[in-house]
Amino acid sequence: MSDISSLTISEMRAGLDSKQFSCSELVKASLDKADACSGLNCFTQLSSDSALKEAEVIDKLLSQGKRAPLLGIPLGIKDVICTKGVRTTAGSKILENFIPPYDATVVRRLKTAGGVSIGKLNMDEFAMGSSNETSAYGPVRNPWNPEYVPGGSSGGSAAAVAAGICPVSLGTDTGGSIRQPASFCGIVGLKPTYGRVSRYGVIAYASSLDQVGGFARNVRDCALVTQAICGRDPNDATSANKEVPDFSKSIGQNLKGLRIGLPKEYFVSAVAPEVSDALKKAIRTLEDLGAIPVEISLPHTDCAVAVYYILAPAEASSNLARYDGIRYGHRASGKLDLKALYAKSRSEGFGREVQRRILVGTYVLSSGYYDAYYLKAQKVRSLIVKDFHEAFSTKCDVIAAPTAPDTPFKIGERISDPLQMYLNDIFTIPVNLAGLPGMSVPCGFTSQGLPVGLQLIGKPWDEETLFRTAAAYEGATDWHNRRPNEKSA
């Protein structure tokens, strides 16, 4: 059973439906691959027993002739998403033994689509990070070169797919946490429009920015997993009452006349030369496919990181106030009075980056500072939204840009300077602030063999144009067929 875990979904579908292999064999292959790649530290936990049990059930359904797009497909779920009865840690010590009594809506949707979760994927603690180095369960390693970071915060989700452990996985994206790891791991990652996917059961970091999305090795698989998780949820008041189109229909459509906006603020000298080069080539490819590059301006781009690092920590400091060791989670031991119990439990349970952001968030919300920081940031956010709105309504149909200004860096290289790390997110953050859909597709490699990503940004609710553009680009290139060296895993 040679490496069936790294087949595409269509190939798995064909194999399962034609009985070339069973779901149990497929899931076992995934679990075996996960073991073989354990050095990458992609998983906070593997659910071998339950996955194999589920596979048995699915084999019966398959033999009864039941079919569904994800039926029998192994996948991983970022450990920020609640899975009933299965430990969910958010990459933190404070939830080391937390067992959710309920499933997140996206987990339910994957179940009804027939997907089989093989385990929970490692991540930056509480989704705060861009390199998967803040996890309480150790860093995740990039399958292309294990000395390098896979990106974050959904590092485990990206690495698992890139390493061929499973064809798709779920991650979350608040400031780039799907797109940037997709870029660093040479795979496809989509953050849907804010409100497309339910946040119910997704451990909150920044409520007005968080969205769940899928990773895959190719655009078609990404469309399948995205389709499975989208849809209004009455349990999430911020989930949108919008019909979900059939995303797969966008694949194969041509790009003739498609206006691709190139924001001049995103193509600046601060971008690493190898990224710049790969992007230039990608845009030429799109042009060859009939698209029309148009220079646009998003004037408030240089405010985005500042806005984000006021709003996100503010919301996080609020969302993390519930972690006090009283109803669940880590509780400090010893004879402590109530106030000390709170402080000790939280300080023992939260890592440095999380504590730092809580302090920033507490500051910008505190009386006397709220207007100057939080309120100001929300106003500038409106300006950023307006920038995109103007570009989309007058100049272009989709925006292309680098996903990250840099290529993957070595583990430990940037961890001591938080601000440096934050600036990594400069091209992804504005998309979250404006609630737009954003996708990263592989568009090249550095001379050291590390992946570079092309970011596509769409109008609200227009994931279809992203799939259309990405699929056409993929059809004209070969990046998605490259695999990390087996030995590096």
Partner 1 sequence: MEFETVIGLEVHVQLSTKSKIFCNASAAYGGEPNEYIDPVTLGLPGALPVTNRKVVEYAIMMGLATHCEIRRFNRFARKHYFYPDLPKGYQISQFDEPICERGHVDFYMDGAKKTVGLKRIHMEEDAGKNLHDSRTGSSLVDLNRAGVPLLEIVSEPEIRSPAEAAAYLRSIRQLVRYLDISDGNMEEGSLRCDANISLRPVGELKFGTRTEIKNLNSFKFVERALEYEIARQYAILKAGNKVVQETLLFDSGNGTTRPMRSKEESADYRYFPDPDLPPVIVEESWVQEVRGKLPRLPAEWANELVSEYGLSMYDATVLTTERAFVEFYHHVVATCGNAKAACNWVTSEFFGALNKAGLDISESPVKATELGQLIKLVDDETISGKMAKSVFEEMFASGKTANEIVNDKGLKQLSNDSDILTIVRKEFDANPEQLAGYLGGNDRLHGFFVGQVMKATGGSANPKKVNDLIRQEAAARKGS
Partner 2 sequence: MVSEDEVKKLANLARLELDPSLVPVVTGQLNSILGYVQRLDEVDTSGVEAMSHVHGTSNVLREDAALEVGSFSEAAPLGDDTIPPQPMLDAEALKQNAPDTSGRFIRVPLIVE
Contacts of partner 1 in 352-371 (CB under 8 A): 362, 365-367, 370
- Nearest C-alpha neighbor of 357 from the set 319, 311, 317, 321: 317
Candidate list 28, 33, 78, 191, residue with the active-site label:
78
Phi, psi of 102 (to 5 degrees): -155, 160
Q: Which of 272, 285, 385, 482: binder of partner 2 (CB under 8 A)?
A: 385
- Residue 240 touching partner 2 (CB under 8 A): yes
Choose the one of partner 2, partner 1, none that binds residue 128, judging by a C-beta under 5 to 8 angstroms depending on kind.
Answer: none
Closer Cβ to partner 1, 57 or 359, answer by number: 359
Closer Cβ to partner 2, 219 or 307, answer by number: 307
- Nearest C-alpha neighbor of 66 from the set 103, 109, 114: 114
Closest approach of Cβ 302 to partner 1, in Å?
A: 24
- Residue 97 touching partner 1 (CB under 8 A): no
Q: Which of 71, 203, 219, 275: binder of partner 2 (CB under 8 A)?
A: 71
Choose the one of partner 1, partner 2, none that binds residue 244, judging by a C-beta under 5 to 8 angstroms depending on kind.
Answer: none
- Residue 235 touching partner 2 (CB under 8 A): yes
- Residue 212 touching partner 2 (CB under 8 A): no
280 among known catalytic residues: no
Residue recorded with tokens 């939280």: 346
Number of residues that bind partner 2 (CB under 8 A): 86
For the chain, give the number of residues. Answer: 489
- Residue 259 touching partner 2 (CB under 8 A): no
Closest approach of Cβ 321 to partner 1, in Å?
A: 3
Task: Tell me the three-class secondary structure of 300-366, residue by residue.
Answer: HHHHHHHHHHHHHHHHHHHHHHHCCCCCCCCCCCCCCCHHHHHHHHHHHHCCHHHHHHHHHHHHHHC
- Nearest C-alpha neighbor of 317 from the set 206, 418, 209: 206
**Residues 341-360 vs partner 2: string with x where CB under 8 A?**
xxxx-xx--x----xx-xxx
In this chain, which stretch among 95-103, 148-156, 167-175, 449-457 interacts with partner 1, using CB under 8 A? 95-103
Q: How far is CA 393 from CA 42, 116, 367, 427, in A?
A: 41, 41, 39, 21
Closer Cβ to partner 2, 57 or 476, answer by number: 57
Choose the one of partner 1, partner 2, none that binds residue 99, judging by a C-beta under 5 to 8 angstroms depending on kind.
Answer: partner 2
DSSP calls for 405-468:
SS---BTTSSTT-HHHHHHTTTTTHHHHHTT--EEEEEEEE-TTS-EEEEEEE--TT-HHHHHH
- CA 184 from centre of chain: 12
18 among known catalytic residues: no
**Residues 69-88 vs partner 1: string with x where CB under 8 A?**
------------xx-----x
Token code pair at residue 130: 């861009």
297 among known catalytic residues: no
Q: Which of 86, 305, 439, 471: binder of partner 2 (CB under 8 A)?
A: 305
DSSP calls for 365-405:
HSTTTTIIIIIHHHHHHHHHHHHHHHHHHHT-SEEEEES-S
- Nearest C-alpha neighbor of 29 from the set 217, 225, 168, 166: 166
- Residue 328 touching partner 1 (CB under 8 A): yes
Q: What is the C-alpha separation between 312 and 130, in angstroms, rounded?
A: 14
**Residues 260-279 vs partner 1: string with x where CB under 8 A?**
--------------------
Residue 196 CB partners (closer than 8 Å, separation 6+) = 211, 230, 239, 240, 242, 244, 437, 461, 463
Closer Cβ to partner 1, 126 or 148, answer by number: 126
- Which residues are tagged catalytic? 78, 153, 177
Residues within the interface to partner 1 (CB under 8 A)? 81-82, 88, 90, 95, 98, 100-102, 104, 199-204, 206-208, 234-238, 314-315, 317-318, 321-324, 326-328, 338-339, 342, 362, 365-367, 370, 374
